[in-house]
Structures are given as C-alpha cells and as structure tokens.
Structure 1
C-alpha cells in the first residue's frame, strides 16, 4: 500500500507560489525515488498555505497538522542575513507550533533563496528558453556560464524580467515584460541538478530530505 505525502508551502507572494509549487513536488519525488523505503505518492499540487505572520502560520499549521506532512516556509534572504531570516521565518514558527499544538519542528523546512526566489529561476537558462517556446537557451544570447552566478546578482527579479523580455522580443517593441507569467512553467522544468549547485537550494534540498527522513520514508545510511 502506498504512503500519501502532502507538502504545504508558506510563500511570500503569488509569483513565488507559481514557481515553487511544481518545483517542490519534483524535488520531494526525486528524494523518494533515490532513497525511499516504500511506495510513496507525493501529493500534487503542493498545498498553498495562507498566512504571512508567524502567529497566522502557527494557527494554519496546527489546524492542518493531520492533513499536511511537511510545511515548507519561504523567505528571501541575503548571504549575510540568512541566519536572522531563518530565525524569524522558520525557527520561531517551529517553536510556536511545538508549544501550541505539539507539532514537531522537524516537519518545518526553510526555503531561503539568496536575495530573491528569481535567482533560482535563473539557474537553468534552458528552462527559461523552453518556457518561451525555444528548445534551449540561444547560444547567441549571453546569460551565465555557471548556475551559481545567479545567486550573486544584485537584482534577480529585474535580471529575470530582462532575460524573458529578450527571449520573447518585447524589448524591441519598446515594452517591458514581467516574468511572472512564465514562472510556473520554469518551475516545472528547471533542472534539479543545476539548482542543487546553488548553495541556498542545496541547503533546502538537504533540509527537505531530513523532513522526509523524520517521517520514516528514507533508508538509513
């Protein structure tokens, strides 16, 4: 008999949900496929959870404790502020949920991209191109040599808008474009291998694996 596992996501905004919902299910499935001890079905789509404050998120998590197995908590951060963001966004929620309804802290996973979530969306240029109707990123357009360069950008959101605008040609017609409409497709196809080269994504993937291990779903190493 298969075990059904539900992931829930607290995100900062609608565009974050668009990119992350498909991506998170894929990462969880990859971990289970590689290390799982039993047949597991990852619920799709990942559940979008309401709540911006720690207090609101605690109420939501406690209300859904029997329906959601892993709570993923998104918060953008810089390299230097990561510890502070992790404490305010993730650790405080763990402590409150434990105190309020006995919800294990191991079921909360921090998702903390460097600067902005769009840095993750930029890590796979081919996924960007495919979202715009190309087979792969055009060799004639320079972007990155390595995915890790995306985390060092001062403004990933603007960089992603520019990349998408270049691909679809709207800049030549004098109009700007928002990448938000393409994020769901990028999240569904972005290479997990490329994403794992980013320090912040690699840490998220490791923490997600630990949460799935806490549920007893993975082989002991």
Structure 2
C-alpha cells in the first residue's frame, strides 16, 4: 500500500484555495493509473514557514518542509512564472528544495515545481464548467483561446466574472479548484509540465516506501 499526501507551499491564500483541491483530484487520478488502487490518499496540506521567520524564500521553503516532513510524502512548490518558467525555477524553487534537502539529511525530500506561465488564474480560464457553477448553468463565458498568453490572468478572470453577473469575484478559487477539468488543463503546456513532474514524483514516493523495512 502506497500512502500519498502532498504538502503545498504556495505564494498566497488564493493559490492555496485553488491548488489544494486540484492537487487532491489530480494525485488521485494519477495514482489510480500508477498503483492500480493500492494506495491511500491524504488531503493536501497547505504549508508555510513559521510565522515571523527571517530569511529569503529558499530558507522559508526549507523551514516549511522541515516542519511537515513527518506528515507529507512529497512537496509541491508553487511559484508564478512571470513569463519565464526557467528563471522562476532557477531562482525560487530549486534553491528552496536544495536547502530543504540539505537540512533533511537521511530523508528523501521529493519536490515538484508548480509554475504557471504568469499566474495560477490562467489555469482557471481553461474550462467553462466552473464558471457555470458561479454564474449559472446557462452561462457562456468568453474564455481566451490560449489562457497562458494572457498577460494579466487575474484581471481577465475578474472581467469575465463581472460581465457574467457574479456578485463577488474574490474567494472563488476553491470552487474552481474543485471543478476545473483536468482534461481541459492538459491543453496548457505549463500544466502538462507540472503533471508530468508530479507523476514522476509519485513514482519516487512509491519507490522510497517500498524499500522501507
């Protein structure tokens, strides 16, 4: 039996609201194909460094991992890409995971980079179905053909919701995280990259657990 629980280190509250339920669904989908039902899934945990801690992002990632190392089998580190995936990974995520691994000697720290091209809201623009939950079943939101080309996905999301008559445009990230279609997300290259890396990480988790006495 493979036990799976992810710890998510994200940029802000709305990112946690969207990504935690999405990760639960995505990990379950991947694990079902990888482990033929022989797995148990724990709910994704939002993790952070201790409040008031000094240091940069790498130190905070390492501290968050250390605090939750006994509770999570893998760690997902979210960073908005700002239009440059490689730079976001090189300057933000890789140093954080390297610091976490250096601090956790004798333990396998399995990490995954979650980097939307600009902002996570681009992933919320990939599927009309969650909009119908918010705006009504007959809603026909005009979504961009290529959400990852949006220079300001947050503004695009707010505009579509406002035009559709939404009474609120904040605090809806959890609804989208619970309902956005994985197949729709797979049309986005950044999500494809994330899903492939997550799949590899789950197999590493399984390898680590199977070799334990």
8 Å CA contact retained: 1:76, 1:115: yes
**Structure 2 equivalent of residue 109 of structure 1:** 112
Farther off after superposition, 52-61 or 205-214? 52-61
The answer on 1:53 being equivalent to 2:57 is yes
Candidates 153, 175, 180, aligned match of 2:150 = 153
8 Å CA contact retained: 1:113, 1:200: yes
Structure 1 Cα separation of the partners of residues 165 and 23 of structure 2? 27
Q: Any gaps of 5 or more consecutive residues in structure 1? A: 171-176
Structure 2 Cα separation of the partners of residues 209 and 85 of structure 1? 21
1:111-136, Cα deviation, whole Å (9 max, x unpaired): 0001111000111122122233x225
Map of 1:46-85 to 2, 5 A cutoff? Answer: 46-51=44-49, 53-79=57-83, 81-85=84-88
8 Å CA contact retained: 2:126, 2:143: no
Structure 2 Cα separation of the partners of residues 123 and 196 of structure 1? 9
Give the root-mean-square deviation of aligned CA atoms: 1.9
Map of 1:110-149 to 2, 5 A cutoff? Answer: 110-132=113-135, 134-135=136-137, 137-138=139-140, 141-144=141-144, 146=145, 149=146
Normalised TM-score (structure 1): 0.83
**Structure 1 equivalent of residue 95 of structure 2:** 92
Structure 2 Cα separation of the partners of residues 142 and 157 of structure 1? 15
Q: Any gaps of 5 or more consecutive residues in structure 2? A: 50-55, 208-213
Structure 1 Cα separation of the partners of residues 85 and 203 of structure 2? 24
Structure 1 Cα separation of the partners of residues 142 and 61 of structure 2? 41
Farther off after superposition, 87-96 or 116-125? 87-96
1:150-175, Cα deviation, whole Å (9 max, x unpaired): 000111000000111122255xxxxx
1:74 Cα offset (Å) = 0.5
Structure 1 Cα separation of the partners of residues 205 and 19 of structure 2? 22
CA pair 55-197 structure 1, distance change in 2 beyond 3 A: same
Q: How many residues are aligned here?
A: 200
**Structure 2 equivalent of residue 182 of structure 1:** 172
**Structure 1 equivalent of residue 163 of structure 2:** 166
Structure 1 Cα separation of the partners of residues 166 and 205 of structure 2? 47
Structure 2 Cα separation of the partners of residues 91 and 104 of structure 1? 15
Secondary structure of residue in 2 paired with 1:216: helix
**Structure 2 equivalent of residue 13 of structure 1:** 12
**Structure 1 equivalent of residue 29 of structure 2:** 30
8 Å CA contact retained: 1:131, 1:186: no
